[in-house]
A and B are shown apart, each in its own frame.
Chain A
Amino acid sequence: MASEAATHSDTVDPIHQFHINNLVDFGQIGHSTFAFTNSALFMAITVMLIVGFMMLSTRGRGLVPGRMQNVTEMFYEFTANMLREAAGSEGMRFFPFVFTLFSFILVANLIGMVPYFFTVTAHIVITGALALLVMAIVVGYGFSKHGFGFLKLFVPDEVPGLILPMIVAIEILSFISRPVSLSIRLFANMLAGHITLKVFAGFIISLSTFGVIGWAGAVLPFLMVVALTALEILVAVLQAYVFAILTCMYLNDALHPSH
């Protein structure tokens, strides 16, 4: 839903909202353009919203929290409990990382629900980079803490010797597929949801050009858009949660590699 959406009012283009526009061009690095894009702008807005809200809401440092402070504290404790339950109290060393990841994806997803706003997490390169960052931390911390003992992750206990190679192969495959599924799940959910919304919203515009009968017909897609908006807000929250809880589980593997 970029700003130039107004330039072609005759048809509705569901893909247009995902365009990356260069707002400030810094020139070329190799064969790629380096520019401050709309995506970067919305990342900045995400960061400002998170930090701004949390700092403002805890400004009073109230012993008895107000409404806003309660929201911040509940989010803090929810994330802390999620990490502690999945990865134990040793996992709390990753708390700032998990908190950053969870809040960034959650707020980016929710900002994307505002009309004309850009959805940062609807780009595979962003979700892929975040998923790879998670896996890099898992692998890096796993090896640095357990050495080659980390490889026990792929060798479950009490498996008969005959099928062990097969099990190990499956474990390795499932480990490799983790960042893929992690990134594509978030990306595809955000992308598909926004396209669906746009398509149904497009039906309203198209039908309303047919006069009164069209207007009456446009009620159906309109109701659909209302329902889908609610669903997409749920999906935005749910996918951020899924990304965060899976991150916690993968971090648990890095902390406790043996099954």
Chain B
Amino acid sequence: MVTTALAQTAAETAAEHTEIADSAHGAFPPFDPSTYLSQLIWLAVFFGLLYYLLSKMVLPRIATILEERHDRIADDLAEAEKLKRESDEAIAAYEQALAEARQRAHGIAQDARDKAKAEVEDERSKAEAELEEKLQAAEARIGEVRDKALAEVDAIAKETTEALVETLSGEAPADAEVGSAVSAAMNERR
């Protein structure tokens, strides 16, 4: 198929491309030297133009864009780092303030508790002292009453003894005798 095609190409080339040099007739196009000069010249022109445009315009522009982005990212990262440090500091300051406040609150509470305790203690000791006083007063009165009662018991015992002796013997005993007998009996009972 290729060989017949080549033959047709040859005929066609002869018919259509009279401007191409005679020696080129029938040649396989990539191996046709008559076209080389034009191709090389235009390759030099366009490859050179492309090189010029790329190296002067396009590549510097892309490089600038990439560099700017790189710088921007680095800047943003540095900024983020700075902000993070600041926020860390703020958090630390807040924590410290919180700790201090807690400490102070604790102190205040302790003070209040101590004061309240002291007051209560005070109150209690005062109450106790009062009670003690009252207790002593009561005891003193009890003692007094008892002494008085005891003294009266003595007198009653003497009178009773006198009356008993008078009734039994018919004569009133001497006061001193009765007194000593009663106290002796009392002492025995005790």
Chain A interfacial positions (CB closer than 8 Å to B): 4, 7-8, 11, 13-16, 18-22, 25, 29-37, 39-40, 43-44, 46-47, 50-51, 54-55, 58, 61-63, 65, 69, 72-73, 76-77, 95-97, 99-100, 103-104, 122-126, 129-130, 187, 191, 195, 199, 202
Distance of A195 Cα from B2 Cα, bound (Å): 9
B12 touches A13 (CB 8 A): yes
B39 to chain A: which residues have CB within 8 Å?
Answer: 20, 37, 39-40, 123, 125-126
Instruction: Identify B6's interface contact among A15, A30, A40, A62, CB under 8 A.
Output: A15
Distance of A55 Cα from B33 Cα, bound (Å): 37
Would you give the shortest CB distance from A171 to chain B, in whole angstroms? 30
* 5 A-B pairs with the lowest CB-CB distances in the bound complex, closest first: A40-B42, A96-B55, A32-B37, A43-B46, A18-B29
A191 to chain B: which residues have CB within 8 Å?
Answer: 30
Contact-residue bracket for chain B: 35 or more
Chain B interfacial positions (CB closer than 8 Å to A): 1-2, 5-6, 8-9, 12-13, 16-17, 19-21, 28-43, 45-47, 49-51, 53-55, 57-59, 61-66, 68-69, 72
Residues A11 and B54 in contact in the complex (CB < 8 Å), given A19-B13, A37-B42: no
Residues A18 and B21 in contact in the complex (CB < 8 Å), given A44-B46, A46-B46: no
Distance of A103 Cα from B49 Cα, bound (Å): 13
Distance of A77 Cα from B20 Cα, bound (Å): 44
A50 touches B50 (CB 8 A): yes
A58 touches B65 (CB 8 A): yes
B65 to chain A: which residues have CB within 8 Å?
Answer: 58, 61-62, 65, 69, 73
A-B contact count (CB 8 A): 166
B29 touches A20 (CB 8 A): yes
B54 touches A51 (CB 8 A): yes
B36 to chain A: which residues have CB within 8 Å?
Answer: 32, 125
A51 touches B53 (CB 8 A): yes
Would you give the shortest CB distance from B82 to chain A, in whole angstroms? 20
B38 touches A33 (CB 8 A): yes
Residues A15 and B5 in contact in the complex (CB < 8 Å), given A32-B34, A61-B65: yes
A14 to chain B: which residues have CB within 8 Å?
Answer: 1-2, 5
Would you give the shortest CB distance from A17 to chain B, in whole angstroms? 9
A125 touches B30 (CB 8 A): yes
B38 touches A40 (CB 8 A): yes
Distance of A125 Cα from B66 Cα, bound (Å): 37
B42 touches A4 (CB 8 A): no
A11 — nearest CB in chain B belongs to which residue?
B8
A58 to chain B: which residues have CB within 8 Å?
Answer: 58, 61-62, 65
B5 to chain A: which residues have CB within 8 Å?
Answer: 11, 13-15
B42 touches A39 (CB 8 A): yes
Instruction: Identify B57's interface contact among A7, A55, A65, A95, CB under 8 A.
Output: A55
Residues A76 and B30 in contact in the complex (CB < 8 Å), given A19-B13, A20-B39: no
Residues A103 and B54 in contact in the complex (CB < 8 Å), given A20-B29, A33-B34: yes
Would you give the shortest CB distance from B139 to chain A, in whole angstroms? 99
A15 touches B28 (CB 8 A): yes
A100 touches B46 (CB 8 A): no
Would you give the shortest CB distance from A197 to chain B, in whole angstroms? 14
